[in-house]
Amino acid sequence: MNIAVMVSGGGTNLQALIDAQARGELPSGKIALVISSKAGAYALERAEKAGIPAAVIPRKDYATQEDFDRAILDAWKEARIDLVVLAGYLSILTANVTGGAYAGRIINVHPSLIPSFCGAGFYGLRVHQAALDYGVKVTGATVHIVNEVPDGGRVLLQKAVEIKDGDTPETLQKRVMEEAEWKLLPRAAELMCQTLEPLYQ
């Protein structure tokens, strides 16, 4: 199965996928394309080092949402992508992209235990700040199917992470990445590759 990884920044989750593939933990899939929403994202360097084709498709380059949607779909189609993984991707995908041929074929990792601290506006450090503000003792990460509702799709995998006294959003983010996100995402990608039918014969 050909996998596209969608990124916007440093690409730590992309690296987790690349490392898992190198260790033989993605036997049913292959990272075939990395798409960044920003030029200069460090994730693009990670892709280059791993020999993975990459493209930059920024929303601001397109006059309409429909044009942007089409550019993404065209890139996936050209690379014969079967599964899409959102790995810290900060552009919202519309129903034009999440429906149709790719319905049920796009997954995302979110840094909380959905349904807590999720939905529009909850991304990056904001999620961890919200967990600390609320005073919860356990947080974690969730990999879910992407649909037109932000963080609204079916949950695939979750892993809990303890919140410790004195945690800051930054320390909590690091622990959630290391203990949950980087483990769940490759596992979920492999699971999806095992269960999906190829999109392109």
- Active site residues per annotation: 110
Which residue is listed with tokens 């049920």?
104
Rounded-to-integer distance, Cα 52 and Cα 50, Å: 6
Give the CA angle between residues 26, 3, 72 to the nearest 5°.
165
- Rounded Cα distance between 114 and 131, Å, is 12
User: Measured between alpha carbons, how far is 44 from 132 in angstroms, rounded to an integer?
Assistant: 32
DSSP strands (E only) in 67-201: 83-86, 106-110, 138-145, 155-162
